Amino acid sequence: MSTTHPSADGEHTHTSIEDDVVDPAHIDNLSHETRRFAPSPTFADAAFAKADMYEDAESDRLNFWSRQAERLSWTKRWDDILDWSNPPVARWFTGGELNVAVNCLDRHIDNGLGDRVAIFFEGEPGDTRSITYTQLHAEVCQAANALEALGITAEDRVAIYLPMIPEAVVAMLACARIGAVHSVVFGGFSADALASRINDAGAKLVITADGGFRRGKELPLKPIIDEAVQSTPSVENVLVVKRTGGEVSFNDIDIWWHEALAEQPAAHQAQSFDSEHPLFILYTSGTTGKPKGIFHTTGGYLTQAAFTHAAVFDLKAETDVYWCTADVGWITGHSYVVYGPLANGATQLMYEGTPDTPHKGRWWELIEKYGVTIFYTAPTALRTFMKWGDEIVAAHDLSSLRLLGSVGEPINPEAWMWYREVIGGNKAPIVDTWWQTETGAIMISPLPGVTATKPGSAMRALPGIAVDVVDASGDTTPNGTGGYLVLTKPWPSMARGIWGDPHRFVDTYWQRYEKQGYYFAGDGANRDLDGDIWLLGRVDDVMNVSGHRISTAEVESALVSHPRVAEAAVVGAHDDITGQGIVAFVILRGQSKEDSTTIGEELRKHVVHEIGGIAKPRHIMIVEELPKTRSGKIMRRLLLDVAEHRALGDVTTLADPTVVQLIADGMTNNDED
């Protein structure tokens, strides 16, 4: 069978493992949560989504999605809503035609909204830009003309390797406007990683920058491109955005972005493309093997991205200022920085830098400055802020916030409560969202005007989405138990395949439950007695302790519920007696570490109290930091190397490669007696 491993870039890839590793009927459900938070009557009355949306979707799922597609502007209406004659490749809104960039820009201008701010940009050094829809449209048109002048045509691939600056959005929309397929690579990957993605896509053009700003320093990007293109024969030109002004070498194929655009008019006649025209490739990678190019098409993807952005975040485009902190190099940046918000005519904040530059209150300062009303970020960031202390947050006025979102991994209940109380002032609903690069858009989430939320639960599938929690045979597990999360019916924004490798797409995501026709998400989950869904993380993050299948997420949640703990990561290390023993790596809150050598036993007892003796950690190590990728995901496979005293695996994709070695050095002198 197959399961998934967190990859170097924070996404997921599947690899073959033995059946008996993850094939028991259920995953133990050890957590219990009794707190409930219903939406206020005022919020519910004005909410975009109403309770009857579930009933509408349940009674006629396809017509529900047809109505959501009608929220977009189509130049040719579709003939059929869904063609599922060749699973697992779906065709949504077949025969329909539209242009993504027109839906994100032109139609808002045509509706008199050209003066609305599309993007408030804040650079890490403090430089700012306010870009209206009219201004963004003009620059996208110039960029589209420039791409065509360089010979880029529909279905050509364009690699984008930029910092978190508005030109990244412009580049993506310019590609969409002319029908070129963009492949955005996070602006921190190495030359080898970048070259492998360029070659797999066969990109003709690369769009990059001289550099960006990160943690108060210039981060050069152009030298990485220069090295990469030495082994990418398909690349004909490199467009270079001048961001830092640092010195760069220029080659025959290099062109300054600003010079290329200055030669072009600020008008462009967009053509429409088939609903199934490829829109983008986004690579996920693993610890071995070549990256997987997940590709998405046009009509279905934009329909679900726009609908979920409006419904899940209760968007009021006339008044809201929305901020998703994700980089455009990840799927969250694609769907909820670029395509969803702009298709909905939203005003959003875009920030280039890190949350601790030039100080640890930078994000809260920006929320106060721009009056952000909707805030969407990752649990990893929230736990970091918890570690830094509430007083940093308290120094800023966050009263503008009316809705909070979580994305990227399961959020533990205590981080959820901290988010609600400290950031949201006990008034802003929280939408804890589950989805993947492969799903394209949010699949499981509360609807903020409808759902009475539970801290730590993603609650239920959105209207029009069909999910189940099943055992190894594909049978639905009873409420109150855990199993494997599957998607049982096609959805509009689903991936159409792995670029150039359709067999790998089937083998990776569909083979496990081929008989049932289910998509296997690779995540464990349980449904509580109310039927609400709790994500347990990747199935390879489930430990087998004395015959019990225990999720690392539940043990980590129990640890973080202790008042001294800011963040925790748990792995199941080999144990001759119990099969696996639980090893926990813990970051303490605050600056004081005076009890770091004695708190381990207290934390072990706390876990026993919270979820039972079977989950008692064998060893707890206090650490300063955890090994994380540049997208914020904890690299548990490296922690397992440490726990089992093995040679460390590849650390080149870590944000700070030195962290894991420091942990390993400490582990050798700190084993439990």
Let me know if residue 347 belongs to a domain: no
Lowest mean pLDDT among 97-101, 269-273, 549-553: 549-553
User: In terms of DSSP bridges, do strands 2-6 and 12-16 run parallel, antiparallel, or are they unpaired?
Assistant: antiparallel
Residue 192: predicted pLDDT: 84
- At which of 537, 557, 586 does a domain end? 537
What was the pLDDT predicted at 596? Answer: 67
Which of 121-135, 352-366, 537-551 is predicted least confidently? 537-551
Residue 588 in domain? yes
Between strands 128-132 and 117-122, the pairing is: antiparallel
- 3-class DSSP state of 213: strand
Same domain, 664 and 562: yes
- Stretch 448-473: mean pLDDT, rounded? 96
Quick check: 238 and 145 in contact, CB under 8 A? no
**Average predicted confidence (pLDDT) for the chain:** 89
Counting residues of the chain whose pLDDT is more than 90, the rounded percentage is 70
Count of structural domains within the chain: 2
> Does residue 15 carry a pLDDT above 90?
no
Residue where one domain finishes, among candidates 500, 518, 537: 537
Choose between 563 and 400: higher pLDDT. Answer: 400
**pLDDT, mean of residues 3-18:** 32
Name residue, tokens 């492969």.
438
Q: How confident is the model at residue 285 (pLDDT cuts 50, 70, 90)?
A: low
Task: Give pLDDT, residue 659.
Answer: 78
Task: Give SS3 for 41.
Answer: helix
Residues 606 and 572 in one domain: yes
The answer to whether residues 640 and 559 belong to one domain is yes
Q: How much is the pLDDT for 645? A: 84
Q: What is the predicted pLDDT for the residue at 188?
A: 73
Q: Within this chain, do residues 500 and 550 fall inside the same structural domain, yes or no? A: no
Average pLDDT of the residues in 473-480: 95
Q: Where residue 625 sits, what CATH number does that domain have?
A: 3.30.300.30
pLDDT of 592 higher than 80: no
pLDDT at 593: 63
Mean pLDDT of 90-97: 98
pLDDT for 47-57, tens place per residue? 999 999 999 99
Contact 281, 183 (CB under 8 A): yes
- Taking CA atoms, 447 is separated from 223, 287, 400, 441, in Å, by 45, 36, 20, 15
241 pLDDT exceeds 60? yes
Tell me whether residue 506 is in a domain: yes
Element (H, E) at 522: strand 519-527
Together in a domain, 484 and 513: yes
pLDDT at 574: 83
Per-residue pLDDT reduced to its tens digit, 419-430: 999 999 999 999
pLDDT at 203: 98
Structure-model confidence comparison of residues 284 and 225, the more confident one: 225
The rounded percent of the chain whose pLDDT value lies above 70 is 90
In 3D space, the residue among 191, 186, 159, 166 whose CA is nearest the CA of residue 241 turns out to be 166
**Are residues 572 and 487 located together in one domain of the fold?**
no
> Sign of torsion, CA 293 294 298 302?
negative
**Residue 670 CB burial class (10 angstroms; 0-12, 13-18, ≥19):** middle
Does any domain span residue 631?
yes
Q: Residue 183 in 3-state DSSP?
A: strand
Region 548-557: mean pLDDT is 79
- Give residue 27's pLDDT: 66
Is 573 found in the same domain as 645? yes
Give the range with max mean pLDDT: 333-347, 398-412, 568-582. 333-347
Task: Identify whether 125 is preceded by a cis peptide bond (ω within 30 of 0).
Answer: no
Q: Assign 469 to helix, strand or coil.
A: strand
**Where do the H-state alpha helices sit in 552-657?**
552-560, 599-611, 636-643
Nearest to 533, CA basis, from 523, 543, 542? 523
> Is 386 a residue whose pLDDT tops 60?
yes
Strands (E), 154-253: 157-161, 181-184, 205-209, 211-214, 217-220, 237-241
Q: What's the residue count for the chain? A: 673
Whether 561 maps to a domain, the answer reads: yes
Please tell me whether residues 604 and 662 are part of one structural domain.
yes
Report the alpha-carbon distance of residue 13 to residue 80 in Å, rounded: 33
- Distance, in Å, from the CA atom of 563 to the CA atom of 602, rounded to the nearest integer, reads 11
Residue 7 counted as domain residue:
yes
Average pLDDT estimate for 40-44: 95
Tell me if residue 289 falls in helix, strand or coil.
coil
624: containing domain: 546-668
Higher pLDDT, 650 or 170: 170
Q: Do 526 and 579 belong to one domain?
A: no
Give yes or no: residues 584 and 607 share one domain.
yes
Give tens-digit pLDDT for 180-201: 999 999 887 788 889 999 999 9
Please report, for residues 23, 328, 448, the alpha-carbon distance to residue 350 in angstroms, rounded to integers and kept in the order given: 43, 10, 24
Helices (H), ranges, 466-598:
502-509, 552-560
Residue 584 lies in a domain: yes
Mean pLDDT, range 490-515, rounded to an integer: 95
The CATH code of the domain that includes 482 is: 2.30.38.10
Pairing of strands 91-94, 80-83: antiparallel
Q: How far apart are CA 355 and CA 439, in angstroms?
A: 28
Examine residue 259 and state whether it is found in any structural domain, yes or no. Answer: no
Same-domain check for residues 520 and 580: no
Q: Which of residues 662 and 492 earns the better pLDDT score?
A: 492
Section 501-509 average pLDDT: 94
Given a contact cutoff of 8 angstroms between Cβ atoms, the answer to whether 278 and 181 are in contact is yes
Instruction: List the single range of 67-81, 116-130, 318-332, 563-577 with lowest mean pLDDT.
Output: 563-577
Same domain, 585 and 558: yes
Q: Which of 673, 571, 561 shows the shortest CA–CA distance to 606?
A: 561
Q: Are strands 403-406 and 430-432 parallel, antiparallel or unpaired?
A: parallel
Mean pLDDT of 410-438: 95
Residue 615: per-residue pLDDT: 85
The token duo for 615 is 């989950």
Q: Give Dmax over CA atoms of the chain in angstroms.
A: 73
- Domain closes at, from 499, 520, 537: 537
Backbone angles phi, psi at 179, to 5 degrees: 85, 10
